[in-house]
Amino acid sequence: MSVGEDVRFNGKKEQEQLRVFPETSRVNLNDLMKKLREEEKKTKRNSLTFSAVALSVAVVFGVILTL
């Protein structure tokens, strides 16, 4: 085997390896935690809104029944 065919010295092999394993950006945990907190806030807000609407409907229905 000649030096030119050796994997360590062959530029083609390095380029092929870079294509197979492209550089990926790192995941920022702070960003993920921020998105998770925002989603939790939205979920809490939606459930609170749904609860308020359900309670209002129950109160209105109760008032109508007492008349």
Quote the pLDDT of residue 26.
Answer: 81
Residue 27 has a CB neighbour count (10 Å cut-off) of 7
22-65: pLDDT as tens digits: 666 788 899 999 999 999 999 999 999 999 999 999 999 999 99
Domains in the chain: how many in total?
A: 1
What is the domain extent for residue 37? 3-66
What CA–CA distance (Å, rounded) separates 16 from 18? 5
Q: Confidence band (pLDDT; 50, 70, 90) for 18?
A: low
C-alpha triplet 2, 3, 9: angle, nearest 5°: 140
What CA–CA distance (Å, rounded) separates 39 from 36? 5
Instruction: Classify each residue of 52-61 as buried b or exposed e, where b means 16 or more C-beta atoms within 10 Å of its C-beta.
Output: eeeeeeeeee
pTM, entire model? 0.52
